Amino acid sequence: MEIPSLQGFEREPDLMTMEKPLEEEDGQSLRIGVPREVANEERRVALAPSGVGALVSNGHEVYVEQGAGRQAHLQDDEYEESGAELVEDPDDLYSQSDLIVKVGPPDEEEMTLLQQGQILISALNLGGTTPEFLRHLMRLRVTGIGFEFIRDPDGTFPLVRMMHEITGSMSIQIAGRYLESNEGGKGVMLGGISGVPPATVVILGADVVGEWAARTALGYGAHVIVLDSELGSLRALEHYLDRSITTAMASEHYLRQAVRSADVVIGAMMAGGERSPVLVTEDMVASMSPGGVIVDAVMDQGGCIETSRPTTHSEPVYRRHDVIHYCVPNMPSNAARTATYALSHVLVPYLLHIGEAGSINEALWRDEGLRNGTYVYRQHLTKKSLASMFGMSHRDIELLIASGI
């Protein structure tokens, strides 16, 4: 098989190559399915009506399941006016789509709807991923592209960043609410008032979630302490926030000291493409004063606090050692409209790239972000981190594309 970027550039008989300019491929009209999210109280939808309009104007067909945007206050008629075709039955939506774009990974019922050779773009949610799910995609020859892995040439993770900005900001709003007495908290305001000191907010992790949690906490007037295992990340955050925060290395000594003094602990420590490291032990949590609040904002990556366990939007909290724990994996779902537009703004250019390339093979070859985002391709697992997590074999994505294996 030829390397994808050279396909279609055949030489005409009796003519030198230079005598005829090479023409670009005409691209491909995609049939894109946008299902209604059904798992884990998900309220977001992958594409806003404006994103649908952009895709339709570029010659693609977009099928949207009826009611897909309702919980984000996006109505069916808005999607119709943008050029989408509304589909009542999810079976029909999956069966007539080349590409499925959704927020959460398919649940067990949705997995049965996936079609042979389909493209699936969604979050993978490493904390809940199973080897059975990955093997099912491989059996179907599905190309799986995960939000968590899409990394552009500049090193940024655009989809992750957008959701993490929302998560970081929300974590402080949530913590402030649960600190209130009527929620069982210790009755402390984040910002304090004249003559009364503010709450102490300890943030574990200086990446995007931690940065936006720190920004929001500072906006409330809280005393903010950020810990991370990377000194460079702490330096960068101090620079961004004009040294308005206290920073410390995430050693056991500093962690114990900070957690013991905290009114609020925000779990924001990430490990790119891997499960979050557990930084705070149960005995550290037990040292917090009664009525304190923990928001583990990285539960979709497994969480970084030993006492954390996943909760839901309908039952978001529980108490352990008289400390309130909020551990909802899909926090941006509670800001569904904002999050939907954020997702749509980032996803649409990638979908357009796939159409312009003419095939998923060519798109992965051309687009580094999509290539980095692919975790299953041609019946192979392509992420070393997933292979290590589940004891499975993997193949390099670039070799697979070039060789056609």
Give the residue-averaged pLDDT of 378-390: 91
Query: How confident is the prediction for the chain on average, in pLDDT?
Result: 90
Distance CA 152, CA 279 (A): 29
pLDDT given for residue 272 in this prediction:
64
Q: Tell me what the mean pLDDT of segment 14-42 comes to.
A: 67
pLDDT bracket for residue 160 (50, 70, 90): confident
pLDDT tens-digit map of 385-403: 899 889 999 999 988 888 7
Q: What pLDDT, on a 0 to 100 scale, did the predictor assign at position 10?
A: 37
* Pairwise CA distance, residues 207 & 279, whole Å: 15
In angstroms, what CA-CA distances link 397 with 89, 92, 97, 138, 152?
A: 34, 31, 24, 14, 16
Q: How far is CA 98 from the centre of its chain?
A: 22
Please tell me the predicted confidence (pLDDT) of residue 26.
Answer: 58
Q: What is the pLDDT of residue 404?
A: 62
Residues 162, 160: Cα–Cα separation, whole Å: 6
Q: What confidence score (pLDDT) does residue 263 get?
A: 97
Task: Give the mean model confidence (pLDDT) for residues 187-196.
Answer: 93
Query: Mean per-residue pLDDT for 2-12?
Result: 38
* Lowest mean pLDDT across 76-90, 243-257, 259-273: 259-273
CATH architecture of 4-156+335-403: 3-Layer(aba) Sandwich (3.40)
- Write down the pLDDT at residue 21: 35
What is the share, in percent, of the chain residues with pLDDT greater than 70?
A: 92
Question: CATH 3.40.50.720 in the chain, residues?
Answer: 4-156+335-403, 167-329
- Average pLDDT of 301-318? 93
Provide the pairing of β-strand 317-320 with 323-326.
Answer: antiparallel
Contact 152, 175 (CB under 8 A): no
Lowest average pLDDT, out of 9-23, 139-153, 176-190, 198-212, goes to: 9-23
pLDDT computed for residue 2 by the predictor: 39
Q: What is the reported pTM?
A: 0.81
Lowest mean pLDDT among 5-14, 20-29, 72-81, 275-284: 5-14
Domain 167-329 coded CATH 3.40.640.10: no
User: What is the pLDDT averaged over residues 247-272?
Assistant: 93
Give the full edge-to-edge strand order of the sheet including 323-326: 246-249, 223-228, 200-204, 264-267, 293-296, 323-326, 317-320
- Span between the terminal Cα atoms of the chain, in Å: 9
Q: In the predicted model, what is the mean pLDDT of residues 101-115?
A: 94
The predicted-structure confidence for 218-230, as pLDDT tens digits, reads as follows 999 999 999 999 9
Mean pLDDT score, 356-368:
93
The per-residue pLDDT for 330 is 84
Contacts of 134 (CB under 8 A, 6+ apart): 144, 375, 376, 381, 386, 390, 392
Q: Output the pLDDT for position 271.
A: 74
The answer, yes or no, to whether residue 16 has pLDDT greater than 80, is no
Q: What is the largest CA-CA distance in the chain?
A: 89
For residues 232 and 169, give the distance between their C-alpha atoms in angstroms, rounded to a whole number: 22
pLDDT at 262: 97
Tens digits of residue pLDDT in 54-79: 999 999 999 999 999 999 999 999 99
DSSP string for residues in 174-196: HHHHHTSGGGTS----SS-BTTB
Span 319-337, pLDDT tens digits: 999 999 999 988 999 999 9
Q: What is the pLDDT of residue 367?
A: 94
Q: With pLDDT > 90 as the criterion, what percentage of the chain qualifies?
A: 78
User: Which of residues 75 and 156 earns the better pLDDT score?
Assistant: 75
